[in-house]
Amino acid sequence: MPIPFRRTSKTRKAKRRTHQKAEMPTTQMCENCGANIKPHTVCKNCGYYKGKQVIKAKDE
């Protein structure tokens, strides 16, 4: 495999790596208890999803 003719500059390397960053996950508040949950998932605190109880809560 050939060796690169010129060294890759810091700017060029940084431009390539701009998309390799960690992002905060999207969250929303539970309609029933107000806890932060991921969208389209059952709340782990109360067991509700879209206003209906789907699973039994941990507290019960």
What is the predicted pLDDT for the residue at 58? 62
What is the predicted pLDDT for the residue at 14? 92
Question: Which residues, other chains included, contact 39 with Cβ-Cβ below 8 Å and sequence gap of 6+?
Answer: 26, 27, 28
Q: Give the residue carrying structure tokens 């010129």.
A: 6
Point out the residues of the chain with pLDDT beneath 50: none
CA atoms of 11 and 49, how far apart (whole Å): 47
CA atoms of 55 and 49, how far apart (whole Å): 9
Give the predicted TM-score (pTM) of the model.
Answer: 0.57
What is the predicted pLDDT for the residue at 59? 57
What is the predicted pLDDT for the residue at 49? 92
Contact between 38 and 26 under an 8 Å Cβ cutoff? The reply is yes
